[in-house]
Amino acid sequence: MPSSTSSSEALDAGSAGLLRTPPGEASGASAGTDRYARQTAADRPGVAQPVPVRPVPEQPWGKILIGMLALLLLLVALWEWYWRDFGVTPSISNTYGLWAIQRRRIDAGEGNATVLLGASRLYFDVQLPVWERLDGRRPIQLSFEGTSPLTAVEDLAADPNFTGRLLISVEPDLFFSGFEYRGGAGRYARNESPSQRIGQWLSMNFIEPYFAFDDPDYALRTVLARQRWPARPGKVWHTDVRKLAQTEADRNTHLWSKVADDPQYRELARGIWREGFQPSEDDPPPAVARRVEQEQIDRMAKAVAKLRTRGVQVLFVRMPSSGPFLAYENLMYPRTRSWKALLAATGAPGIHFEDYPQLQGYYLPEWSHMPLAEGERFTAALYAIVMREFWGPPAAAGTAPRAGTP
Amino acid sequence: MVFNSLTFVVFFACVLVLHSLPLRWTTKKINLLIASYLFYAAWNPPFVILLWISTVVDWYAAQGLVKARRQAARHAWMLLSVIANLGMLGYFKYGQFLLDNFTALMGTLGVPYHPAHYDIVLPVGISFYTFATMSYTLDVYLRRAAPAQNLLDYALFVTFFPHLVAGPIMRPTELVPQFAQPRRASADQLRFGLALMTLGLFNKIVLADSFLSRVAERVYDGDKIPGALDAWAGTLAFSGQIFCDFAGYSTTAIGAALCLGFAMPDNFRFPYAAVGFSDFWRRWHITLSSWLRDYLYIPLGGNRHGARRTYLALMGTMLLGGLWHGANWTFVAWGGLHGIYLSVERVLRARFSNYRPGPVVFVLLGLLTYTLVNLTWVFFRAKTFSRAWLVLRGMLGQNAATGPILPTFSLISVAAIIGALVLTHWLMRGRTLESVVARAPAVAVCAVWGLMAFAIIIAQGAGSAFIYFQF
């Protein structure tokens, strides 16, 4: 054995306790009458460390475990009952893992599929079963709420496996500001570990279909944070967006019925949008906002050009909005400056809902999204326009789409 | 995989079942070894190769050390182990950092140098398992320990999944002897182990991830200039986050090992009740600080060669300890500050050797320690020095005309959690968790355990990685 090193050679450079031991207190947990006291490696400098001691406190652990499980079961049942009473039903969580499953379809033999990319309007309003019924193939839904599709379009542009059709939704305040509430999905999908994949599968098969409370809107912190805390002066504080949609395993999503059916909840959703219409100190100066707008258009033009060299058909769509939301969008992003400039820069065609009577007149409870039945009707109308005017009849399953764009 | 994931729940249930089957002890150890490789491969399967390299190199280095007759040969075997481990660590963890600094140095000397950017992925936990395996050869080299009797026991020591990726950094003498005889947890060990895992996951999922992490993020990762209240709230939140995250991992790891019948050492002992920095380092990340003490500080001379050498050894150890945490100069600054604190404390202790503080002064010294530790966390958390200075200026009230960053709820939650955390540390300062649990009424233990488990479930953690995985 090496020469024993004195305890004064600890990293603390001395144990003569000026500050070590409080008056009247035993020196740490390693002394005194505590029968569970034990030394740590900090107490044994420069020697081989022995097998640790890990005592179990004396308690009736069997009874404690049973009691704990009973209490846990009771609390979880009450929590579940509370949220179901509020109107919540189980829904698949819209996680990055769920998105990654759909994204992988492109690299797993469905590279010629129709991909939907946008923010919440394309995500909630287009119903995949309706599209599939009309088209014969179910599109891949890659939209994310509150998120500009630009990064995801660039990701697809860089993926040679994708040769299909791309419907990109332009939701002006997100698209032209480049805002990405859920911007990390592409990176996540590329780096997703086997463990995360398994966890996603377990969660969406054994947890999410059965528990209504398993939704980010009802997470402990979220629930506590949205109580009526006094607002801190000096800033306008925005309310976080509440639960708006129900999602299925393949990301087919629709507006939550409570938004349409519950006047109080609908008003809450509208109030949250209204807050966003007010100027905020977080808003960039107008000159910066214009520059960002142009950057988004330029980047999209590059991505679209790249996609078109592979024969990908790209089509933009401006989804319906109404009331104060539409007024806000028209004020902030006038059609000529935003929508038309985008189409001109990319050279891709677009469908603006204001140009088609079939895409107007839908009920949008909170001015931005439509309930399920309206969404089904809208999807059929949109599909008809897309095929009639832009993409032609659907390609047979497994065959490549026509090259070029209208 | 991370402890706070569904994947781990299923994995751990399978491991427990396998470990309780009536199989031969060797078969059970092989099961544990395979499970540990699966645990690691669940992040990135190819990196298991690094684990094998580290295991095999140190196994043979230790064998060579035992057989070597001449001191030079012993040196050579020891150096092989150190170079192989530090080489791996250097390439994966510090390669880009060294290249960036070399490029910057060339730039200042007027030599244009533009190397290609290497996109090196840091293998999870490499800092932990390289230190664990190095301690094996170094203990054999220093004749503190005999080498393991068989490769299976040694490989399991390196790979044992509870401590593999984020510690506690175990020494071979702590774990290898536990593999010699069959081990299976008693019913009470299993239940207490599960309770420890619940406590650890509560710290991680509920306190660190749900409440504290986003407060720190808003202050440190945003572009807003923080005023005094926001800067302090963000820093205090981080002090709580890093404790709850890392101590939470250690507690979960200790609990998981106990469920299988193995004992792991304490890694934290209520560090925010530390009075002085030597006390802090006896309570914070104990297995790292003692590793650095035994394999760096003491070999550098420790306190055996006069005051000057002691201070140099102390600063050198703390600066390298800082760099161990990450390839960024901000971590070096963090370690440097702790080195300065320890040095100043040593000077004061020598000068006022007869001073004994009264109870009030003692508590005030504890609060001073916590405050100064918080100043170091600024450098630990900030990604750049400019952001660190901005937050420090904010904490000192020097950022004029700043708007609020954090909403009222964040301020209240930080005050409540950090207040409770520091108070708990003070109440537990001279106690162990076990002694408090043993004295508590069974109903209270049951209720607290149930409430923590309930909070974990309704917090809906997203399986975010532990902070120390990146180290």
**A207-239 residue pLDDT tens:** 999 999 999 999 999 999 999 999 998 888 888
What is the model's pLDDT at position A11? 52
CA–CA gap between residue A266 and residue A259 (Å, rounded):
5
Q: Is residue B405 assigned to a domain?
A: yes
Q: What is the CA angle B150-B156-B162, rounded to 5?
A: 160
In Å, the largest CA–CA distance within chain A is 91
- Whether B208 and B153 share a structural domain: no
Give chain A's domain count: 2
Backbone φ, ψ for residue B347 (5° rounding): -60, -45
pLDDT in tens, chain B (471 residues): 889 899 999 999 999 999 999 999 999 999 999 999 999 999 889 999 989 998 999 999 999 999 998 999 999 999 999 999 999 988 888 888 888 888 888 888 888 887 777 777 778 888 899 999 999 999 999 998 889 989 999 999 999 999 998 879 999 999 999 999 999 999 999 999 999 999 999 999 999 999 999 999 999 999 899 999 999 999 999 999 999 999 999 999 999 999 999 999 999 999 999 999 999 999 999 999 999 999 999 998 888 888 889 999 999 999 999 999 988 999 999 999 999 999 999 999 999 988 889 999 999 999 999 999 999 999 999 999 999 999 999 999 999 878 899 999 999 999 999 999 999 999 999 999 999 999 999 999 999 999 999 999 999 876 566 666 665
Residue B1 located in a structural domain: no
The phi-psi region of residue B162 (left if phi > 0; otherwise alpha if psi is between -120 and 50; otherwise beta) is: alpha
Q: What is the pLDDT of residues B407-444, one digit of tens each?
A: 999 999 999 999 999 999 999 999 999 999 999 999 99
- Looking at the DSSP bridge assignments, the partners of residue A168 are A117, A316
Do B112 and B245 lie in one domain? The reply is no
Identify the pLDDT of residue B96.
83
Q: Beta A350-352 vs A313-318: how paired, if at all?
A: parallel
**Residue among A406, A293, A309 at smallest CA distance from A350:** A406
Q: Tell me how far apart the alpha carbons of residues B55 and B85 are, in angstroms, rounded to a whole number.
A: 10
pLDDT, mean of residues A26-32:
46
A387 occurs within a structural domain: yes
pLDDT at B289: 94
Terminus-to-terminus CA distance in chain B, angstroms?
16
Domain that holds residue A83: 60-88
pLDDT above 50 for A21: no
Q: Where are the alpha helices (DSSP H) in A87-219?
A: 96-107, 120-125, 128-135, 150-157, 172-175, 185-191, 194-202
Is the same domain home to A81 and A163?
Answer: no
CB A153 within 8 A of CB A168: yes
> What per-residue confidence (pLDDT) applies to B348?
93
Cα–Cα distance measured from residue A95 to residue A89, given in angstroms and rounded to the nearest whole number:
17
Closest partner CB to B442 (pick from A32, A49, A59): A59
Residues 283-342 (A) with a CB less than 8 A from some CB of B: none
- Closest-CA distance, A268 to chain B, in angstroms, reads 20
B406 CB-contact burial (10 Å; exposed 0-12 / middle 13-18 / buried 19+): buried
Residue B179 shares a structural domain with residue B201: no
Query: Catalytic pick from B285, B325, B338, B425?
Result: B325
Q: What pLDDT was estimated at residue A129?
A: 97
Tell me how many domains chain B contains: 2
Is residue A78 scored above 60 in pLDDT? yes
A305/A166 Cα distance (integer angstroms): 13
CA-based nearest residue to B279, from B199, B338, B332: B338
Same domain (yes/no): B240, B364 = yes
What is residue B150's DSSP assignment? S
How far is CA B40 from each of CA A202, B121, B123, B159, B204, rounded to the nearest angstrom? 19, 15, 10, 9, 20
Looking at residue A19, its pLDDT comes to 37
CA B405 to chain centre: 30
On whether the CB atoms of residues B59 and B84 are closer than 8 A, the answer is no
Helix (H, G, I), strand (E, B) or coil at A352: strand
Instruction: Give the contacts of A282 (CB within 8 A, at least 6 positions apart).
Output: none
Q: What is the dihedral of CA B123, B127, B132, B137, to 10 degrees?
A: 100
Do A324 and A359 reside in the same domain of the chain? yes
Q: How far apart are CA A315 and CA A336, in angstroms?
A: 18
**Are B145 and A42 within 8 A, CB to CB?**
no
Could you say which of B159, B184, B209 is where a domain stops? B184
CA separation for the pair A108, A120 (Å, rounded): 26
- Whether residue B352 is found in the same domain as residue B222: yes
pLDDT of residue B467: 64
Question: Do B51 and B81 reside in the same domain of the chain?
Answer: yes
Expressed as residue numbers, the domain containing B399 is 189-470
Virtual CA dihedral for A377, A355, A291, A187, nearest 10 degrees?
Answer: 30
* Whole-number pLDDT of residue A12: 47
How many whole angstroms separate alpha carbon A212 and alpha carbon B458?
A: 11
pLDDT at residue B65, rounded to an integer = 93
Domain-embedded: residue A360: yes
Whether pLDDT at A27 is above 90? no
Per-residue tokens: B445 = 């233990």
Q: Do A32 and B145 touch (CB under 8 A)?
A: no
d(CA B151, CA B58): 11
Interface subset of B 418-457, CB within 8 angstroms of A: 429-432, 434-435, 437-438, 442-443, 445-447, 449-451, 453-455, 457
A221/B454 Cβ within 8 A: no
The least confident of A331-340, A363-372, B432-441 is A331-340
Q: Are B76 and B204 in the same domain?
A: no
For A225, the closest chain B residue by CA position comes to B409
What share of residues in chain B are helix, strand, coil (percent, to 5)? Answer: 75, 0, 25
In residues, how long is chain B? 471
Question: Residue A403 pLDDT more than 50?
Answer: no
In A, residues 196-255, which contact B (CB 8 Å cutoff)? Answer: 196, 198-199, 202-203, 206-207, 213-216, 218-221, 224-225, 227, 229-235, 237
Question: What is residue A4's predicted lDDT score, i.e. its pLDDT?
Answer: 30
Rg (CA), chain A: 29
Q: Of A189-193, A261-265, A357-361, B24-28, which gets the smallest average pLDDT?
A: A189-193
Q: Do A78 and A147 share a structural domain?
A: no
A207 found inside a domain: no
Q: Evaluate whether residue B102 is within a structural domain.
A: yes
Its sign, for the CA torsion B406, B410, B412, B418, is: negative
Same domain? For B202 and B119 the reply is: no
Instruction: Give the pLDDT of residue A402.
Output: 40
Residues B269 and B245 reside in one and the same domain: yes
Q: What is the pLDDT of residue B471?
A: 59
Boundary-marking domain end, from B184, B210, B236: B184
Same domain, B212 and B70: no
pLDDT value, residue A88: 96
The mean per-residue pLDDT over the stretch A292-300 comes to 94
Q: What is the CATH number of the domain that holds A386?
A: 3.40.50.1110
pLDDT, residue A3, reads 32
State pLDDT tens for residues A82-92.
Answer: 999 999 999 99
- Of B169, B184, B199, the residue at which a domain comes to its end is B184
Q: Which of A29-43, A119-133, A262-276 has the lowest mean pLDDT?
A: A29-43
| B128 plus B262 within the same structural domain | no
Determine the pLDDT at residue A263: 97
The closest alpha carbon to A295, from A235, A342, A336, belongs to A342
Identify whether residues A313 and A366 lie together within a single domain: yes
- Is residue B168 reached through a cis peptide bond, with omega within 30 degrees of 0 on the bond before it? yes
Of B278, B362, B450, Cβ closest to residue A68? B450
Residue B325 annotated in active site: yes
CA triple A179-A185-A186, angle to 5 deg? 105
Same structural domain, B170 and B301: no
Question: What is this structure's pTM?
Answer: 0.90
Query: In the prediction, which pLDDT does B327 show?
Result: 87
**Is A355 part of a structural domain of the chain?**
yes
Angle between helices A323-332 and A263-277 (to 10 degrees): 10
| pLDDT attached to residue B1 | 85
